[in-house]
Each structure stands twice: as structure tokens, then as C-alpha cells.
Amino acid sequence: MAKKQFDFESCIKEGLLRLIPPSKEKAEGSIKASLKWLEEAEKDLISEAFNSSVLSSYLAMFHSARALLFFDGYREKSHFCIARYLEEKYVKKKLLENKWIELLDHYRELRHDDQYSISFFATKDEAENALKTAKEFIERMRMLLHEKGV
């Protein structure tokens, strides 16, 4: 059986993206959470807990992307649909480069492998790359929020 692919409209229809009151406070809180996960990723890398570092780097990216949803008045029920939201509301309007969506999807898939596969083991290089990407991703999300007045 083929896996169902969701686009933005499907995410809305299935309730995986839901309207909520826009919240600058939740957006700021989500950025703070992303920075905490970034600290975790750095600590994990130093202690050579590479799987944990990759997971923490992804969660840092997730929370920084989620900040945009909170500010815009959306709540996700699916990690996959956060990327679809950013595609629809930011990439299509040329406010965000598609490479950030590709990176978010890549690290979401790695996070899935990390959590559920019995054969996934991140290397030091993968953990270092994930951390570098997370730092750049958070900075890009913060730039978008800054443009919106956060």
C-alpha cells in the first residue's frame, strides 16, 4: 500500500494544520525552545552522543520553524506538515528559499530513522553537519520573524 503524500491543502483538510489565534508570545517561546535544543545538540556532540546530537539539532530546527506557525496563527499536528506550511506561505511567495524546506525534510527523515530504526547510527560528521545546519536554519527563521516584527 502506497504511503499517502500530503500537501498544504491535505494537511489542512486532515486537521494536521489548524488555525489558532496568532501569538507573538508562543512564537518567541518556540524560538527559545529552539535555542535550548541547539545547546543540547552541542553538548551531545561534545560528549560523542551523535544520534542524540542529530535529534536535538532537528528539534532545534522544528521549534524555530514552528515559531512562524504560531506567529501566523497555526498549530501543527504533524512534523511533515510544518514544511508544507512553509512551502505554501513562504516559499511560494518568495519569502524563503526552498533549500530550507529540503533541509528540514532531510533532518526530519533522519530523526525518524534515529528514533525508529534498529540500524541507524549517526557519525560525528553527520552530527556536526546537523548542528551547523540547525544554527543556520534558526538564524533564517529568526530573520523571517524579525521581518514580521518579532
Report the 10 Å Cβ neighbour count for 147: 9
Q: Where are the alpha helices (DSSP H) in the chain?
A: 8-13, 24-46, 50-72, 79-86, 98-116, 124-147
Q: Which domain holds residue 69?
A: 16-147
In a domain, 4, yes or no: no
Q: How sure is the predictor about 69, in pLDDT bands with cuts at 50, 70 and 90?
A: very high
Mean pLDDT of the chain, nearest integer:
92
Beta bridge partners of 75: 18
Condensed to tens digits (0 to 9), the pLDDT of residues 54-65 reads 999 999 999 999
Q: Within a domain: residue 38?
A: yes
Q: Say how many domains are in the chain.
A: 1
**What's the pTM value of the predicted model, to 2 decimals?**
0.91
Whether residue 9 is contained in a domain is answered as: no
> What's the confidence (pLDDT) of residue 1?
37
User: What one-letter code names the amino acid at 76?
Assistant: E
Q: For residue 140, what is the domain's CATH number?
A: 1.20.120.330
